């Protein structure tokens, strides 16, 4: 599962995001800066389930850190 792609528009793997979180990423901006995920505009179009990557990345941050820093998502409240 670590090799699963989490950001389809930038081809970023789940493991890459996990490493960034373990190295201190606490927000979407931290993830964008350190992994290139959550920067594109085509994730919903490219993802097999039609989902964007921001929600999944936020869930990963919360799972690893217990919280997320930065603004809340307007679509999911995370």
* pLDDT at residue 72 is higher than 80: no
pTM: 0.78
Distance CA 21, CA 69 (A): 12
* pLDDT at residue 73 is higher than 80: no
Does domain 5-65 correspond to CATH entry 1.10.510? no
Q: Within a 10 A sphere around the Cβ of 49, how many other Cβ atoms?
A: 5
Residue ranges per structural domain of the chain: 5-65
Per the listing, tokens 């789940």 go with 14
pLDDT tens-digit profile of 23-68?
Answer: 999 899 999 999 999 888 887 888 888 888 888 898 888 888 776 6
Query: What's the pLDDT score for residue 75?
Result: 47
For residue 38 the two structure tokens come to: 């959550």
C-alpha torsion sign, points 75, 40, 23, 18? positive
CB within 8 A of 21, min separation 6: which ones? 31, 60, 61, 64, 65
């Amino acid at each position: 599962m670590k090799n699963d792609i989490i950001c389809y528009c930038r081809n970023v793997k789940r493991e890459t995001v996990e490493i960034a979180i373990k190295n201190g990423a606490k927000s979407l901006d931290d993830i964008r800066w350190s992994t290139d995920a959550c920067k594109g505009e085509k994730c919903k179009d490219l993802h097999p389930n039609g989902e964007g990557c921001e929600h999944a990345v936020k869930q990963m941050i919360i799972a690893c850190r217990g919280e997320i820093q930065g603004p809340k998502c307007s679509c999911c409240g995370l």
